[in-house]
Structure 1
Amino acid sequence: MSILPHFTVIVPAAGVGKRMQADRPKQYLMIEDKTVLEHTLDKLISHPRIAHVVVVLDPLDPYFDALPCKDAPWLSRVDGGKERADSVLAGLKSLTEQPWVLVHDAARPCVSHQDLDSLLALTHKQQGGILACPVRDTMKRAKSDSATIASTVDREGLWHALTPQLFPLAELTQALSSSLHQGVNITDEASAMEWAGFDVKLVEGSDRNIKITRPNDLALASFYLSQDKK
């Protein structure tokens, strides 16, 4: 009987989250009795094929050391950089001798184990990819004032990019390093891999895998997490 491989997840958590209009970064806002970050870490490490999580933090982060999980044996802390891509790269460089790595947003606490299973299945075909949802709504492009419609965008073939995103460690490290060095605008790990010429697979995931960005998202995430407990 073969033993299934285990994986490490990089969780960039150095951002401020200004759109939440809160007194602290969004990953430290509370949902019931835990922070958003704790819920995210719990969801990841409870998956049977995830063995380790690297959380990437602002070097001056004043909140993380108050979390009960800060000294967990399955958790490592790395200092992040100015942008998300810098932080992810710092996390990647802390790893050695791993063929694959996942990257997951700190503010996505509702990712399901079923979706993680679907994403990890890509490794059987030696393919990298991301969780994503097809766009269902009519899409509008705004004018420069962001208050007036410029045009309607054809939604055929459009997807919402989610996380985790799964890629070979060496190739993702090289893609991020090269794209940052050349000043390429990198919005997620997939965009670095696309720029480097790699094919990136889309794995349809649940639309419950929301990213907490605005105040109303907290209530929705709380509802989804409560449903997971039933």
Structure 2
Amino acid sequence: MSKFFALIPAAGSGARMGNELPKQYLSLNNRPMIYHAIYTLCQSQAIAGVFVVLAPSDNEWFKYDWSEFSEKLVMLSCGGLTRADSVLNGLTTAKQKDLVETDDWILVHDAARPCLTSIQLNKLINELATDDVGGLLAVPVADTLKRSNIDNRVTHTESRENLWQAQTPQMFRFDLLTQALRSATSINVTDDASAVEALGFQPKLVTGDAYNFKVTYPQDLALAELILQKRNNS
């Protein structure tokens, strides 16, 4: 019977945050930001294990106590230059260590999405567990979209019909995801679904919610803190 595993690529530097500390370790509610994603994934009874893929030179990880997650959490020091490289390296290493099987489901989640809830996670798993391809959390685009020129002048307004904003986790079988990422080395893929799409598959969109946003800029961190504090107090 197939199992469900989560994988968090966390080998990046998060340069857009304007901080020397890698983004995943920035303080959020008195914890490193990556803690919150790990907590939600490890708390899920459906998830058999959580792989965190770090840069080989990452020493920051060892400054924190991760023992509360010891039953599920596995750290892999095999991160690559890009997100796709880190995911593929993590999958390859996990298979070499006999931690996963080829038909297991892999849920790839961003370390910088700390506001994922168990409700969203369970919805994704339940809707995709019997799907032939897999899919991802996403939200329909609500805002008007403008196309600009190099001078930041509007050239035209884009139709938002049938447009979605991709989120994570993105959930695919180990074998399909590995094949997709290996095949995508010559193209620019910004998420796992893009690599699967490049093979000709159509991932399913599972409606998430806007709170599951990616922390990219300093103001995003402040918003994430407010959301988590409100949840903790409710």
Give the TM-score band, short-chain normalised: over 0.9
Residue number among 193, 209, 213 corresponding to 1:210 in the alignment: 213
What TM-score do the two structures reach when normalised by structure 1?
A: 0.93
Percent of residue pairs identical: 44
Say whether the 8 Å CA contact 2:197–2:203 is kept in structure 1.
yes
- Per the alignment, residue 197 of structure 1 pairs with 200
Query: Which deviates more, 91-100 or 189-198?
Result: 91-100
Query: Which deviates more, 55-64 or 5-14?
Result: 5-14
1:17 and 2:14 equivalent? Answer: yes
Residue number among 160, 182, 195 corresponding to 1:177 in the alignment: 182
Distance 1:167 1:129 in 2: 7
Q: Which ranges of structure 2 fall in alignment gaps of 5 or more residues?
A: none
1:106 and 2:105 equivalent? Answer: no
Do the aligned partners of residues 5 and 172 (structure 1) sit closer, same or farther apart at CA in structure 2, a change above 3 Å counting? closer
Residue number among 44, 53, 57 corresponding to 1:56 in the alignment: 53
Distance 1:174 1:113 in 2: 29
Shift of 1:184: 1.1
- Per the alignment, residue 36 of structure 1 pairs with 33
- Per the alignment, residue 89 of structure 1 pairs with 88
Amino acid corresponding to residue 86 of structure 1 in structure 2: D
Distance 1:125 1:39 in 2: 28
Query: Which deviates more, 156-165 or 108-117?
Result: 108-117
Distance 2:156 2:60 in 1: 43
Shift of 1:151: 1.5
Say whether the 8 Å CA contact 2:10–2:54 is kept in structure 1.
yes
Say whether the 8 Å CA contact 1:5–1:49 is kept in structure 2.
no
1:186 and 2:184 equivalent? Answer: no
Residue number among 153, 157, 175 corresponding to 1:152 in the alignment: 157
Residue number among 218, 221, 226 corresponding to 1:223 in the alignment: 226
Q: Which ranges of structure 1 fall in alignment gaps of 5 or more residues?
A: none
Shift of 1:5: 6.1
Per-residue CA deviations over 1:92-121 (Å, capped at 9, x if unaligned) read 111331521110000001011111111112
Residue number among 128, 135, 144 corresponding to 1:129 in the alignment: 135
Amino acid corresponding to residue 123 of structure 2 in structure 1: S
Distance 1:119 1:127 in 2: 13
